[in-house]
């Protein structure tokens, strides 16, 4: 007789949320004094996005936020993570705020609080004001100081009502997809500039953290969200493959968590990139400024990375899951080959492996003991379509979420202090260079009418959020 299956139960205080970002959902790109960001420019450049699609309208959250908050409440979410559009608040990236821009976020926060939903603010989710990019962008040191001023402005405006703050979302993508492979805005392909961008993003985080703490009540929490990679060797016993893992781990993870958590860049990273740069843009005092105590750490996870040693002279496509480009997002790692990981895949072509999430959580539990963790993004894209009754069934996403949430619960049982989970994403939306062809939302959006329809995964997740329990998969 088979053993009974016990439902997976989470701690009572665990936060159940969903996440979005400003450019992907807001639209209204020319309203209220907002000026172009690098994503406006990039998406309007021919050939940069699928079908030439842009975030001009996106899913019109700017005008529909009250309905969207009501939908979150119906789903029983306890928290909502969203980002601020820098160019909506501070159009040139300098100078005083535009109050009408801040007022939108004040209204959104008030609506969330009235619905009993804790807001979590991300200050930067990739949409740098175009004027700052025109001045050099993230490879320029001054951009970090401009970010700190922006953080001070938003902290003063919202810090009395928002307790949970994230400085940067996935700075790896900003630095290496934006400035090395060019598949993200601003679309530059300059390996050295990408490493400079990484350092100045780190500096922006540190300066921004300090600015937030001067602007807000001490009770508030400041974190950063990293898309740290789970890097695995093709042949675990091969020293060359293990060396390849070290190189990619440094470029994906150590370049950020080294200075942020330990106050130093990994020596192996500096050595691996020494043919490109001497890192002289790291000034005296920078590492001290970056190494601010964190109140929490956000982890974004989708799929693991599989690598091996390779002949640097052999050219060909990379299977690193980060978009097609003739330019690598991995400066100094031309001798590393990427491999398609085995298993079932999402619409992005990413393999589904919840063990990677458990591994990631336990790694940071060991590397940053005592630091609370949040899963600030996790989710999957599928080719969702309504049936003849207008309902959207997505059992693949339910299975994905069930597996990954079970991995989170296993990590908690293993001693990890994970305090919340944010499903990516609340809504189908503008998926960056993929335009609107990849649907990550738990809520289906008809892009012709902008009507929202909760998918079956949203209803499943709602039950989990209300009960703190994952039903056995046999009953899904």
Distance (Å, whole) CA 386 – CA 133: 40
Count Cα atoms within 13 angstroms, Cβ side, for 165.
31
Q: Checking DSSP bridges between strand 8-9 and strand 469-470, what pairing results, if any? A: antiparallel
- Residue 83's H or E segment, with its range, is strand 79-83
What's the token pair of residue 463? Answer: 């039950």
The catalytic position among 26, 377, 396, 474 is 377
Task: List the one residue out of 125, 198, 117, 128 whose CA is nearest residue 164.
Answer: 117
Residue 61 near residue 426 (C-beta atoms within 8 A): no
Using only C-alpha atoms, the chain has a radius of gyration, in whole angstroms, of 21
- Among the options 31, 170, 431, 437, which is catalytic? 170
Query: What six digits make up the tokens of 395?
Result: 């059992």
Q: Would you call 190 a catalytic residue per the annotation?
A: no
Cα Dmax for the chain = 70
Residue 421 CA to residue 65 CA, distance in Å, equals: 22
Q: Rounded CA gap, 118 and 332, in Å?
A: 42
Question: Measuring CA to CA, how many Å separate 329 from each of 139, 180, 411, 423, 433?
Answer: 15, 5, 31, 26, 15
377 is catalytic: yes
Q: Which of 469, 171, 109, 437 is nearest to 300 (CA)?
A: 171
Alpha-carbon distance values, 272 to 239, 247, 336, 474 (Å): 16, 7, 12, 48
Known catalytic residues?
A: 170, 377
């Amino acid at each position: 007789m088979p053993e009974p299956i016990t439902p997976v139960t989470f701690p009572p205080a665990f936060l159940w949320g969903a996440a979005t970002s400003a450019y992907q959902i807001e639209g209204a790109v020319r309203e209220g004094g907002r000026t172009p960001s690098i994503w406006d420019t990039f998406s309007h450049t021919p050939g940069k996005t699928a079908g030439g699609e842009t975030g001009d309208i996106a899913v019109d959250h700017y005008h529909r936020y009250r309905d969207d908050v009501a939908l979150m409440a119906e789903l029983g979410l306890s928290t909502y993570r969203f980002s601020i559009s820098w160019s909506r608040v501070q159009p040139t990236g300098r100078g005083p705020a535009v109050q009408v821009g801040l007022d939108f976020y004040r209204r959104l926060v008030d609506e969330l609080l009235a619905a009993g939903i804790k807001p979590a603010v991300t200050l930067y989710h990739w949409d740098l004001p175009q004027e700052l990019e025109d001045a050099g962008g993230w490879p320029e040191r001054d951009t970090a100081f401009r970010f700190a001023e922006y953080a001070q402005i938003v902290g003063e405006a919202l810090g009395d009502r928002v307790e949970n703050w994230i400085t940067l979302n996935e700075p790896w993508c900003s630095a290496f997809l934006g400035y090395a492979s060019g598949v993200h805005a601003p679309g530059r392909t300059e390996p050295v500039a990408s490493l400079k961008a990484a350092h100045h993003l780190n500096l922006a985080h540190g300066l921004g953290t300090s600015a937030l703490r001067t602007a807000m009540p001490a009770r508030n929490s400041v974190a950063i969200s990293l898309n740290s990679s789970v890097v695995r060797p093709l042949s675990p016993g091969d020293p060359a493959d293990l060396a390849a893992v070290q190189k990619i781990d440094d470029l994906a993870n150590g370049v950020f968590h080294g200075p942020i958590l330990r106050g130093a860049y990994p020596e192996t990273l500096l050595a691996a990139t020494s043919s490109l740069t001497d890192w002289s843009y790291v000034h005296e005092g920078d590492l001290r400024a970056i190494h601010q105590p964190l109140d929490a750490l956000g982890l974004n996870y989708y799929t693991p990375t599989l690598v091996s040693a390779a002949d640097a002279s052999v050219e060909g496509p990379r299977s690193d899951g980060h978009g097609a480009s003739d330019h690598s997002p991995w400066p100094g790692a031309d001798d590393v080959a990427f491999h398609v990981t085995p298993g079932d895949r999402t619409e992005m072509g990413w393999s589904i492996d919840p063990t990677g999430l458990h591994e990631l959580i336990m790694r940071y539990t060991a590397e940053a003991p005592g630091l609370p963790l949040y899963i600030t993004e996790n989710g999957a894209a599928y080719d969702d379509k309504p049936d003849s009754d207008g309902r959207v069934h997505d059992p693949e996403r339910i299975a994905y979420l069930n597996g990954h949430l079970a991995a989170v619960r296993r990590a908690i049982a293993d001693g990890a202090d994970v305090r919340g989970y944010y499903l990516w994403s609340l809504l189908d939306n503008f998926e960056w260079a993929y335009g609107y062809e990849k649907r990550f939302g738990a809520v289906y959006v008809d892009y012709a009418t902008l009507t929202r329809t909760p998918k079956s995964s949203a209803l499943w997740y709602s039950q989990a959020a209300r009960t703190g329990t994952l039903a056995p998969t046999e009953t899904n």
